[in-house]
Structure 1
Amino acid sequence: MNEALAAGTLLIADPFLKDPNFMRTVVFLCDHQAEGSIGFVINRRYEKNIGELVTELEMCNFPVYYGGPVQRDTLHFLHQCPDLIEGGVEITTGIYWGGDFEQVAALIKKGELESGMIRFYLGYSGWGEEQLDSELNEKTWLITPGNAKLVFHKNISLIWQDALKQLGGKYEQLINYPLDPQLN
């Protein structure tokens, strides 16, 4: 198992990755163990808001993000509010996964939870035993530590680029690579 991988790691898709589920994405790993890994694509917006998916929040226009291709009928969330939402698991400093959804709904209805404090994901990204290690060996992903600035970025269209900038050096050049180098 790759020692550099752990919960809280960001997986940055290689600029030439053609898989439509992960092309130019950043995945925040929430769990990484020998049996497998789970995370959420943090830079791909889903076409509906939370109010269109959850009837008890029908007036809420908080965005929903495409978490990944696995179990796209499930809803997950990351947040920065452990003092407001019970039951969340701290993945890395200031980023919590899950918690009491009834509390979340009540806080949203009362106007006590802002959209920048929570992110909802439809589905998740998952890897079986040694699958992610294999993808890292194939250079499918670059890795960097996750942080609240990237996970809760105000402009999701910049997350992939900003994650590469966090790596620095030669990786910053990847930002300018075209989607299809044959068209260059």
Structure 2
Amino acid sequence: MGDPNFERTVVLLCRHEPEEGSFGLVLNRASNLTLGDVLELPLGAAAPAAPLPLHLGGPVQPNTLHYLHQRADLPDATDLGQNTHWGGNFEVLLGLLQAGEVGADAVRLYAGYSGWGAGQLEAEIGQKTWIVHPPAAGKVFTLATDAFWQAILREKGGRFKALSNYPIDPRLN
């Protein structure tokens, strides 16, 4: 693709409507920021949610906050399968974190998102720009951020498994 925003990334599609477009989150781009760095929290730095790491969800609207979690009971959340949910009432989520009812290991926060217009993603897949993998939403909470790309390719097997160890610049190998 030649776009550094998506080099060696794994994107979880959260919404795919061919006539409207698609919305996804890059799962394997860490940042050096935490939630407490970008959002005023009721207890400031002492808030249980303050140290939660902020990941880079994609290049679109990087000043927006998106989140994945494992709380099926969070109002307005979208079920992505495999005990993974997208969005929902953020104030309720903060309250659950504050009360210790949700642990840091059950929430992933993302700045920005990845988006495609109507038909754009289908066209890119048709051009073999993307490697499509069966839904693996549950891996959000089982794989380390820096392990996603390699783990997904290895799981696909065959020629993809070989790609998992391929250097970014083969001339430097």
The two structures have a TM-score, normalised by structure 2, of 0.89
Ranges in structure 2 where 5+ consecutive residues have no aligned partner: none
Which residue of 28, 33, 49 maps to 2:12?
28
Question: What does residue 43 of structure 1 align with?
Answer: 28
RMSD of aligned C-alpha atoms? Answer: 1.6
> Is 2:106 aligned against 1:122?
no
Ranges in structure 1 where 5+ consecutive residues have no aligned partner: 1-16
1:154 Cα offset (Å): 4.2
Pairing 1:1-184 to 2, within 5 Å after superposition: 17-34=1-18, 35-56=20-41, 58-59=44-45, 60-83=50-73, 85-184=74-173
Q: Give the 3-state SS of the residue equivalent to 2:148 in structure 1.
A: helix
Separation of aligned partners in 1, 2:138 and 2:154: 13
1:87 Cα offset (Å): 1.7
| 171-180 or 53-62, which deviates more | 53-62
List 4+ stretches of structure 1 deviating above 4 A: none
% identical equivalent positions: 43
Q: Give the 3-state SS of the residue equivalent to 2:93 in structure 1.
A: helix
Flag the 1:48–1:113 CA change in 2: closer, same or farther, 3 A: same
AA paired with 1:56?
L
Deviation digits for residues 126-168 of structure 1 (CA, Å, limit 9, x no counterpart): 0111111121122221111233442223411111011112212
The two structures have a TM-score, normalised by structure 1, of 0.84
Would you say the 8 A contact 2:69–2:106 is kept in 1? yes
1:107 Cα offset (Å): 1.4
Separation of aligned partners in 2, 1:20 and 1:150: 23
Separation of aligned partners in 2, 1:64 and 1:109: 18
Separation of aligned partners in 2, 1:91 and 1:155: 19
AA paired with 1:124?
Y
Separation of aligned partners in 1, 2:100 and 2:6: 34
Separation of aligned partners in 2, 1:153 and 1:43: 13
Would you say the 8 A contact 1:116–1:154 is kept in 2? no
Flag the 1:43–1:72 CA change in 2: closer, same or farther, 3 A: same
Q: Give the 3-state SS of the residue equivalent to 1:163 in structure 2.
A: helix
Separation of aligned partners in 1, 2:30 and 2:122: 27
1:66 Cα offset (Å): 0.3
More strand by share: 1
